[in-house]
Every structure is written in structure tokens, then in C-alpha cells.
Structure 1
Amino acid sequence: MTAIVRVDRDGIISHWNSAAERLFGFTQPEAIGSSLELIIPQPSHACHRDGFAKYVASGTKTLPASVTAVGRHKNGQPVKFRISTTAMRDDRGAIVGVEGLMLAD
């Protein structure tokens, strides 16, 4: 099953499906409204913030097709997964969020 996580342009989680719960260990109520940094290991927070801000500002349609990443499970353990992302846009074409599709690697 594919984990689907959507965040707004500030990196706040707005959608978290049951596969995301299984992959990362956080329930939907724990995840919705939290920063995406919830599932990003602490040493990578600043790098992720910078990269995400540049991605949103650039207007790029997608990140690389599919990349391997390492996240953080609720229990603190690393989670290796493959992710592909797509920008979500408003009627004017501005990025309003990002959707990530993730599979355990």
C-alpha cells in the first residue's frame, strides 16, 4: 500500500493516510497539523527546510521522479522509503502544497 502525505506550502501536514500511519507509526490525529519534520531525522531538519522552500518558490512541477529517502519512525528508528512528489497548485498555477507518494524500501 502506498503512503500518501500532503503538506501545505509551509510544510504542515494536511493529509495522512493509513499506509503513512503504518510506515511512520504516527496516527492521523498526531500527524495532521504537524510539521513534516515530524518524520524527518533531526540532523536533516535545516537541509529539508531550505530545500522545501526552494522547491515551493521555484514553481517546479515535480522533484526527481522517484528517490530513496530516510525518514524517522515514531519509535525513533530510521525508515527507508522511495518517494515521488507532485506540486499541488491553485487556479493561478501557484504551488499551494506538495503530495508525496511513499513505499517502504
Structure 2
Amino acid sequence: MSSAIDFAQLADAIGDAIVISDAAGDITYWNPAATRMFGYTRDEALGQTLDLIIPERLRGRHWEGYQKTMATGQTRYGNDVLRVPAVDKSARALSIAFTVALLHDPQGAVSGIVAVIRDETARFQEERNLRKRVTELEAQVQLQAHAQQS
């Protein structure tokens, strides 16, 4: 068994999107799962900024954190799964979950970030519907309890 792993083969086969961006936030890697998730081909995505998938209203906050991470070489999200809104090529809203890791150049400086991303839009909608249903049922129980007390 070979201990060497072919990154390209792994990244092309994996079901989660893998997006790598450089220190400026330009996309330098985009796997086939990213194409399926966001609708942009690799050629369309490469060289673009991450604004491609970030909702406009969240871009300021995103870039503030991104630039701070590049300057300090630290991210508070190293082991956390982040859940945030995103958008695809057709401007459809997505709910994504992802982890990030910092990439370093040979001198040890931060050179970019890799994100492994999963589309959780359906799960997020299911949870929202369940929370709404629980709230409705709780309201019904309270009304019934109030009616019985009267």
C-alpha cells in the first residue's frame, strides 16, 4: 500500500467542496464538488474572489476577519464547524457548513486558506420547519391549558 496520496485524485473524488484561496482572497483551487454546489465551473471560479459565494450583506464582515487572519496567522475557527449563508451562481441562497485550515509558504507565513464545505440547505430548512412546528404546538398546549383554567 502506497503511503503517498494523490491530492488531486482525492479532492476530485470527495463529496464535499474544497475551495482554496490565497492571502488576497482569490480562489486558487476549486474541486468538482464546489462546481456542483455553487454552479461555477473551475475556470469561472479560479482567480475570482470569495465574493463569488458570499452574500453581499456579509462581505464586509468576512473580509475584515479574512484580512485579520492573514495578518496574524491565526484563526479562531481552526477546529470549529462554521455554519453561514452562501449564494450560488444563480443567486440562490444556500446554508453551508465548513471547516477551514491555514496554509503556509516555505518560510512559514500564511499563504492562504482551505475550506472544506458541505451544503446543509435542506437540513437547515428541516430544522427551521421543526422549530416552527414545535412553537405552534407549544402555543396550542398553552391555549388549551388556559382554556381549561377558565
Shorter-normalised TM-score: what interval? over 0.9
Matches within 5 A, 1:85-104: 85-104=100-119
Higher Cα Rg: structure 1 or 2?
A: 2
- 1:62 and 1:85 in contact (8 A); partners too: no
Q: Which runs of 4+ in 1 moved over 6 A?
A: none
Q: Give identity over the alignment, percent.
A: 30
Q: Which runs of 5+ in 1 are unaligned?
A: none
Which residue of structure 2 aligns with residue 53 of structure 1?
A: 67
Higher relative contact order (CA 8 A, sep 6+): 1
Within the candidate set 51, 69, 78, 2:84 is matched to 69
Which residue of structure 1 aligns with residue 96 of structure 2?
A: 81
SS at match of 1:10: coil
Q: Which runs of 5+ in 2 are unaligned?
A: 1-14, 121-150
Within 1, Cα distance between the matches of 2:117 and 2:76? 14
Within 2, Cα distance between the matches of 1:62 and 1:86? 10
- Counterpart residue type for residue 24 of structure 1: F
Q: Normalization by structure 2: what TM-score?
A: 0.67
More helix by share: 2
Which residue of structure 2 aligns with residue 42 of structure 1?
A: 56
More strand by share: 1
SS at match of 2:19: strand
Q: Deviations over 1:51-95 (max 9, x none)?
A: 100111111166242111111111111111110000000122110
Report the count of equivalent residues. Answer: 105
SS at match of 1:49: helix
Cα RMSD between the aligned structures?
1.2
Relative distance call for 1:61 and 1:91 in structure 2 (3 A) is: farther
Within 1, Cα distance between the matches of 2:112 and 2:103? 5
